[in-house]
Amino acid sequence: MAQEGRNIIDEQVVVGEEKGSVRLATLNRPRQLNVISSEVVLKLAEYLETWEKDDKTKLILIKGAGRAFSAGGDLKMFYDGRESRDSCLEVVYRMYWLCYHIHTYKKTQVSLVNGISMGGGASLMVPMKFSVVTEKTVFATPEASIGFHTDCGFSYIHSRLPGHLGEFLALTGARLNGKELVAIGMATHFVPSAKLADLEERLVGLDSGEMDVVRSTVEEFSEKVDLDKDSILNKQTIIDECFSKESVKQIIQAFEAEGSKEGNEWITPVIKGLKRSSPTGLKITLRSIREGRKQTLSECLKKEFRITVNILRSTISPDVYEGIRALTIDKDNSPKWSPATLDEVAEEKINLVFEPLEDDIELHIPETEENRWGGKYET
Catalytic residues: 73, 120, 143, 151
The per-residue DSSP string of 284-350 comes to: HHHHHHHHHTTS-HHHHHHHHHHHHHHHHTTSS--HHHHHHIIIIIS-------SS-SGGGS-HHHH
Task: Report the alpha-carbon distance of residue 219 to residue 189 in Å, rounded.
Answer: 7
Interaxial angle between packed helices 89-103 and 38-53, expressed in degrees from 0 to 180 and rounded to the nearest 10 = 30
Nearest to 322, CA basis, from 82, 72, 73, 36: 82
**What is the Cα 178 distance to its own chain's centre?**
15
3-state secondary structure of 40: helix
Confirm if 278 and 146 have CB atoms less than 8 A apart. Answer: yes
Give the CB-side neighbour count of residue 118, counting CA atoms within 13 A: 22
Instruction: Indicate the burial class of 158 (C-beta count within 10 angstroms; 0-12, 13-18, 19 or more).
Output: buried
